[in-house]
Amino acid sequence: MTSLPTTRKVSVLIPTYKYARFLSQTIESILNQSFSDFELIISDDDSQDGSAEIIRDYASRDARIRFKIQSPNLGMVNNWNWCLAQAQGCYIKYVFGDDFLISQDALALLVELIETEPGVRLAASARIIVDGSSTPIEVWNHAGKQGITAGAEMISQCLWHDRNLIGEPSVVLFRKEDAARGFHPDFKQVVDLEFWMHLLRNGNFAYTETPLCAFRRHAEQQTEVNRRTIDGASEHARLLHLYSDYFALRPEHDQEIFKRLYRLRKKRNPKEYEIELIKLLSNVLDDKYFTYWIRYKVMRPFSNVRRSWRKYVLGIQTKTESGAGLDSLVQRKVR
């Protein structure tokens, strides 16, 4: 691996595997940034698809690029952590080999965002979802709140909604000094979310609703491979174990907590994650569960009549009235 003697403000990291067809677009989107005080570290995980030649070509033309062609294959998380270990910048910015920055000011804006106040440990933006041909599909803005959010609150929201509201590694920027532990090797599907929670234990989250990155969805991406091969429910159960102290719910959530807990308790074979969630929700609701259960049993016949009237007479049917309950409420909140 070639060396770069000058320390840069940002280390941009590209861990890549079998993404030769996307790699040039990824690299170009970084080299064309208006913010130029960065080093670019690329680690190809023994792709055997022509990626090495593309990387060598760019490195021969730009001294900010350092690279390593791994052999043998390190695996996804180890490759992420290898890149992180090589970084010399004050801030870390991942851009995966199939993603790209959509704004020439992306790095500048993220640096400005994380420097809003000293307590910010993680900055992120909304992102545009694109397909294999780089055609925009939709905008994801799950964090939903422009500005600064307390780290503990963000952890709680991710656990409550059971999803990564912050975003993938390609949409975040964080401080190198906070990242000594690296990504947890025991996680695969939610490894990024676990690391964001690890960072936010010690600081706040800064967010912009302006999309700065394109996140690519295609059948070969690691997220899709993991979804087919990894039990995501068990990983979420471990997240709840590790960060249960942050699973903070408020009195205004009681009705929704009851609905979810009631459905979970009726399941014959709940998954590991669901069993853990039952314990947490039971502790939160405590003796209020019986009160809500009585209310539910008394009101249910009237609710059924109302739902039938709206559906069959008025022709109106909402998601919450069709049985989606808390799940539809959560989806509306995070869109």
Bridge-based pairing state of the strands 10-16 and 91-94? parallel
Q: Output 55-64 pairs: Cβ under 8 A, ≥24 positions apart.
A: 55/23, 55/27, 58/24, 58/27, 58/31, 59/2, 62/31, 63/4, 64/4, 64/8, 64/31, 64/38, 64/39, 64/40
pLDDT of residue 322: 37
Which token pair is 149?
């959010």
Find how far residue 228's CA is from the centre of its chain. Answer: 18
Amino acid at 201: R
Q: What are the structural domain ranges in the chain?
A: 10-239, 252-334
Per-residue H/E/C for 140-178: ECCCCCCEEECHHHHHHHHHHHCCCCCCCHHHEEEEHHH
pLDDT of residue 205: 97
Amino acid at 42: I
Residue 165, judged by CB atoms within 10 A of its CB (0-12, 13-18, 19+), counts as buried
10-239, which class in CATH?
A: alpha beta
Rounded CA gap, 60 and 81, in Å?
25
DSSP structural state of residue 8:
P
Per-residue H/E/C for 200-268: HCCCEEEEEEEEEEEEECCCCCHHHHHHHHCCHHHHHHHHHHHHHHHCCCCHHHHHHHHHHHHHHHHCC
Rounded CA gap, 125 and 173, in Å?
9
Bridge-based pairing state of the strands 120-130 and 204-216? parallel
pLDDT tens, residue order, the chain (335 aa): 544 446 799 999 999 999 999 999 999 999 999 999 999 999 999 999 999 999 999 999 999 999 999 999 999 999 999 999 999 999 999 999 999 999 999 999 999 999 999 999 999 999 999 999 999 999 999 887 899 999 999 998 898 788 899 999 999 999 999 999 999 999 988 999 999 999 999 999 999 999 999 999 977 665 555 554 455 667 887 888 788 788 766 666 677 778 878 888 888 888 777 787 788 778 877 788 888 888 888 877 777 777 777 777 777 755 444 333 333 333 333 33
Q: Indicate the helix (H) or strand (E) that contains 39.
A: strand 38-44
pLDDT of residue 331: 33
Which token pair is 34?
């208006």
Residue count of the chain, please give it: 335
Amino acid at 4: L
Phi, psi of 217 (to 5 degrees): -110, 125
